């Protein structure tokens, strides 16, 4: 794992932890994620629209990443190329 990727993952983990601990912060993050992330010193590319959704005990979101421009139809991709993080069966119990 690169230093840049691990820093990015730590930054995201801090945002998640802060949202779990602070309902007002979570509400602001959901309402205006770009402004909140920039206020937390995170880089958000210009022109990028972000949407924050929250998983619950009975609802989980499956995020389908955008297909890379250089991905050919029918090409087999391995998990390193896709880079998806998804947890099925994780406990969301209180």
Asked whether 63 and 55 are in contact (CB, 8 A), the reply is no
- DSSP for the chain, please give it: --HHHHHHHHHHHHHHHHHHH-HHHHHHHHH-HHHHHHHTT----TT---------SS------PPPPTTPPTT----HHHH-----SS-----
pLDDT in tens, the chain (94 residues): 567 778 888 999 999 999 999 999 999 999 999 999 999 999 999 999 999 999 999 999 998 888 777 766 655 666 555 554 444 445 444 3
Residue recorded with tokens 């990015």: 8
Predicted confidence (pLDDT) per residue in 46-69, tens digit: 999 999 999 999 999 998 888 777
Examine residue 92 and state whether it is found in any structural domain, yes or no: no
Does any domain span residue 32?
Answer: yes
Quote the domain boundaries for residue 60: 3-82
The verdict on residue 11 lying in a domain is yes
Residue 93 located in a structural domain: no
Which residue, 53, 60, 17, is CA-closest to 33? 53
pLDDT of residue 8: 86
Does residue 94 lie in a domain region?
no
Task: Classify residue 91: in a domain, yes or no.
Answer: no
Domain count, the chain: 1
88 inside domain: no
Is 23 part of a structural domain of the chain? yes
Specify the pLDDT at position 84: 47
């Amino acid at each position: 794992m690169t230093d840049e990727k691990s820093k990015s993952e730590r930054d995201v983990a801090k945002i998640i932890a802060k949202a779990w601990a602070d309902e007002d912060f979570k509400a602001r993050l959901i309402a205006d994620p770009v402004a909140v992330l920039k206020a937390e010193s995170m880089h958000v590319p210009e022109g990028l629209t972000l949407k924050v959704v929250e998983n619950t005990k009975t609802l989980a979101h499956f995020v389908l990443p955008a297909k890379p421009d250089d991905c050919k139809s029918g090409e087999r991709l391995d998990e390193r190329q896709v880079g998806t993080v998804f947890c099925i069966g994780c406990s969301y119990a209180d």
